[in-house]
Structure 1
Amino acid sequence: MNASLTMVMPDDMHVHLRQSDMLDLVLADTVKQFARAIVMPNLNTPIISTKLAIEYRNMILNSLGKVKDGLKCFEPLMTLYLTDLTTTDEILKAKESGIVFAVKLYPNSVTTNSHVGVVDIFKNCYKVLDMLQMIKMPLLIHAEVSDSRVDIFDRESVYIDKVIIPLRKKYPELKIVIEHVSTKEGVDYVYSSPNFTAATITPQHMLYNRNIIFSGGLRPHYYCLPILKSELHREYLVKAATSGDKRFFLGTDSAPHDTKAKENSCGCAGCYSSYNAICLYAEIFDKAGCISNLEKFASLNGAYFYDLPINKQTLTIHRNENIVPDKISFKDLNIVPLASGETVQWHI
C-alpha cells in the first residue's frame, strides 16, 4: 500500500463558512485541504443580492488574512440565494461581478435558514431560470420537498419526480447540481441525465447509514439534511463517487454548529467535516479499492463542471493512523467534528 498520495489540490463545491468566530475556525480548517470552495448563502441574513455577496466575500477575505498564507492559497466562490422575488437584472449583476458562480435554490423551510426560500419555482422563477440557462450559470438545488406529509426519508426522491424532472424538460441546457445527493433515485437520475446535470456527495452520506443516528441513543451530531438514508442508498453513493464519473464531485456540505445548538431539545441539522474532510473521503475511496479515482472526484470533476481552471498546487496526504478529536474548541465555540473519536487511516 502507498504510504502517501499526492493529488491536484481539491475544491469543496459545497461548504458553509458561517460568520464571525465560526468563520475564522472553518476557514483555518478549509484552507489546509481545499484551494476553492462554493460558499453557501443561507446566513441569518441570506445573501440574496450581488451587493451582499460582495460584502460576505470581503468578510471571508478578511478572515483569510488571519490564516497563514490564506489569501494566497484559497479562493471563495460566491453564490446567490434564490427567492421568489429574485430578478433577472440581479442575476446579470451577479454574473458580471466575476465573484458569483452559481445560484442556490432552497425550497421554502426545508433546511437551516431557508425561511425565504422558493415557494413555487415554476410560477415565480421562470424568468430567472431562462436567464441562468442563457448565461450558463449553475442552479444548485437542495432537492427535498418541504411537505410535512412526505416521509423525511422520501423527500429527495419525491422532489426529483415533482420538480427536477419537469424542470429539466422545460430547461434542457440549464446547468443543475443536485447538492448532497443522498439516494439511489438521485444517483440514477444523474446517470440518466445529460451533461448539464451533476451532483455533489458528502462524506457523511457515504460513511454512515441512518442507524448511526440512533446507535446507543439519539446522536445529534449525525443529524443532517438531507438525513442519512439506508445502507442500500449509502452503497449506491459510494459506488457513484468512486467510479470516476465526471458528473459526481466533492461537496462536503460541512455545516458547523456549536454544541449548544446541536445538543438540545430541537437541535440544528448539520455535520462538521471541514476538520479533515479529504482524509475521510480518502478512507472511503481506499476501502472501495478506488483511491486512484479520488483526484477526479475531489479535484477535477467539479472544476470541469464549473468551467474553472484546474488548480496548479498539489496536496499530499499520508497513510498515518490517527484519532479524530472528540471536540474542537475555539474561543467560546465547541464543535464536534464528523467521525469524532474514530480512527482514520489518512492524515494531512
Structure 2
Amino acid sequence: MKFTQISELELSAAFDAHVHLRDGEMSQLVTPTIRQGGVNQVYVMPNLVPPVTTVKQCLEYRDRLKAIEPNVDYLMSLYLHESITPEVIREAKKAGITGVKSYPAGVTTNSSSGVISYESFYPVFAEMEKQNMILNLHGEVPSTPSHAHATKDSAAITILNAEPAFLPTLKSLHEKFPKLRIILEHCSTAAALAAVRACGSSVAGTITAHHLSLVIDDWAGDPFCFCKPVAKTPEDRDALLQAVVRSEGRFFLGTDSAPHDQGKKRGEDKVAAGVFTQGNAVGYVLDALERGVERGVVGEEEINQDGLEGFFGGWGRRFYQVDDGRGERVVLRKGQEKVVDVLEKDGINVRVVPFRRGETTWSVEWK
C-alpha cells in the first residue's frame, strides 16, 4: 500500500480513548458525531459540572449518552477527587466503570476540583492496581502565578513547559504502583513520548488528532486551535507523527475532542481550551500522516494497514482490555468530506466550530 496514492481505505471502526461529550444541550449536539468520525467505542471524560465523582452519577451519565446515540459503546470514568476512596473504587469496578481521570487543579476546563497532591491518593491508586482499573493522567502541572518568579532550583511553569514538568510525577507513580495501568493523556511533546517509553508495559499514552497537525503559531492566532495541553513546536508535532507509526502499541488514538459553544471560543474575556474533532476524527489523522510523508518526517513504507488498525483501535482496546463487540468496519475516501463551518441543530442553543472548518478530509461510510 502506497499511502499517499490511495483514495479509498477500509478499516475496523475506531476506538477513541479520550472524548468530552459534555451534558445537556451540548451532549445532544456532539454525541451523534461520534460515528460520523468513524468511531464506535469511546472512553468518556468525567469533568462535567459538577464533576462525576460517584458511581451513581457515572451510570446515570452513561444512560443519558446511550439515549442520545445507542450505537456507541461508552466506557466510563470517575473524576479523581477527595471523595474517591478505596471503597468507591471497589464499587466502581463492580459496576463496570473502567477508570479514574486525574486533573491537576486548575490546568484546564472544569478542573477546579482537581488534584493538588498525589500522595493523599496512594491508597486509592493501590486499590485501583488491585482492581485492575486505569488511571488516566492529564499530564501538566499548574502554571506559576504571574506575579511569582522562578527560583534557582526551579524554572517558572507556563503552558509551554507544563507537560515536561509533570513527567517526574508519571515516573514516580509508575515506580510506586508498577502494575497500575496508567495512561499519559494527549501527549504533546517529544519528552512525553520518551517518558512513556521509559516506563514498563503498564504505561501507555494517547495522541490526539489535532496535535498531529498544530504548532504554537496555529493556536496563537486562532482560538479554535487552542487547547490544553497547547500544541508545541514543529519538532514535537513531528515526533508525535512518528509515534503513530513507530510506537509498537505504546500510543493510540485519544482525540480529546472538546466542544465549546462558539461564543466561549471567541467573544468572551477568556478563550475556552478545547479543539472539537469528533465528527472527522479518523480523517484528520490520515490527513496529518499524509502531510508527514510530504515533509519527509514519516516514511511512506511505515504507513500500513496493520499500523493504522492498531493506532485507531487495536492497541487502545488491547490496553483497555476490551473488545469491539460490534465488529464493524468503515470505508474512508480521501477528500470526499467537507468539514462543516459550524455544527448546529434546530432546537439546540449551542453552536460548535470544528477543527479545520470548511476544509476537506476523508469521508466515512459504515459497512
- The interval holding the TM-score normalised by the smaller chain is over 0.9
Find 2:180's aligned residue among 169, 174, 177: 174
1:84-123 alignment runs, 5 A limit: 84-98=82-96, 100-122=97-119
**Which residue of structure 1 aligns with residue 334 of structure 2?**
319
**Which residue of structure 2 aligns with residue 30 of structure 1?**
34
- Report the alpha carbon displacement of residue 7 of structure 1 after superposing the two structures with TM: 1.1
**Which residue of structure 2 aligns with residue 329 of structure 1?**
344
Q: Is the contact between residue 14 and residue 39 of structure 1 (CA under 8 Å) also seen in structure 2? A: yes
- Report the alpha carbon displacement of residue 30 of structure 1 after superposing the two structures with TM: 0.3
1:178-257 alignment runs, 5 A limit: 178-214=184-220, 218-257=221-260
Which has the larger displacement, 249-258 or 111-120? 111-120
- Report the alpha carbon displacement of residue 285 of structure 1 after superposing the two structures with TM: 2.8
Q: Deviations over 1:80-131 (max 9, x none)?
A: 0011331000001000002x11110111111111111111111x10100101
Alignment partners' CA distance in 2, 1:223 and 1:3: 31
Q: Deviations over 1:175-201 (max 9, x none)?
A: 100000111110011122111010110
SS of corresponding position for 2:331: strand
Q: Deviations over 1:236-266 (max 9, x none)?
A: 1110012252111100000000111111220
Q: 1:134 to 1:26 in 2, by over 3 A?
A: same
One-letter identity of the residue aligned with 2:352: I
Alpha-carbon RMSD across the aligned residues, in angstroms, is 1.4
**Which residue of structure 2 aligns with residue 340 of structure 1?**
357
Q: Is the contact between residue 108 and residue 117 of structure 1 (CA under 8 Å) also seen in structure 2? A: yes
Runs of 4+ in 1 over 4 A off after TM superposition: none
Q: Percent identity?
A: 31
1:128-167 alignment runs, 5 A limit: 128-148=124-144, 149-161=156-168, 163-167=169-173
Q: Deviations over 1:185-224 (max 9, x none)?
A: 100111221110101101111111111123xxx3111110
Q: Structure 2-normalised TM-score?
A: 0.88
- Report the alpha carbon displacement of residue 332 of structure 1 after superposing the two structures with TM: 2.0
Q: Deviations over 1:130-153 (max 9, x none)?
A: 011111111000000014241211
Aligned length: 334
Q: Structure 1-normalised TM-score?
A: 0.93
Alignment partners' CA distance in 1, 2:111 and 2:206: 19
Alignment partners' CA distance in 1, 2:356 and 2:217: 14
Alignment partners' CA distance in 2, 1:41 and 1:223: 21
**Runs of 5+ unmatched residues, structure 2:** 145-155, 294-299
**Which residue of structure 1 aligns with residue 323 of structure 2?**
309
Find 2:311's aligned residue among 268, 277, 297: 297
**Which residue of structure 2 aligns with residue 68 of structure 1?**
none
One-letter identity of the residue aligned with 1:326: D
1:265 and 2:263 correspond = no
Q: 1:291 to 1:6 in 2, by over 3 A?
A: same
